[in-house]
Amino acid sequence: MAKPKKKKKKQKLTPAAAKRKANRDRRRANRKDRRDKRAENQRLRRAAKKKGKKIAGKDYDHKKRKFVKIKKNRGNYGKGTKNEKKR
């Protein structure tokens, strides 16, 4: 039996810095706009599953208004997100 892989940290931070970052990330994730977006995504996923659509491994793309592969959605279809226009 193979050994389970160890979970790597994304960043090398001191314990104090990691705690501060976790607090910042948590505050950002729980803002009203982020909560609303999460709720919207949940509604859309539930509705798609109810209709029998296969959405495993997919995310909702708000620009195209449909479910697309996670890799494509997060990477802005190969263009990256650095130069993405802000609203």
H-helix or E-strand spanning residue 52:
none
Those residues whose C-beta lies under 8 Å from the C-beta of residue 59, and which sit 6 or more positions away, are 67, 68, 69, 70, 73, 74
Confidence at residue 1, expressed as pLDDT on a 0 to 100 scale: 67
Backbone angles phi, psi at 69, to 5 degrees: -60, 140
In terms of pLDDT, which residue wins out, 11 or 52? Answer: 52
What are 39-84's pLDDT values in tens digits?
Answer: 999 999 999 999 999 999 999 888 889 999 998 888 888 887 787 7
Q: Scanning the structure block, which residue is given the tokens 């859309």?
A: 44
> Which DSSP symbol is given to 67?
E
Domain range list for the chain: 14-53, 57-87
To 10 degrees, the CA torsion angle through 31, 37, 38, 41? 180
According to DSSP, the residues that pair with 69 across neighbouring strands are 58
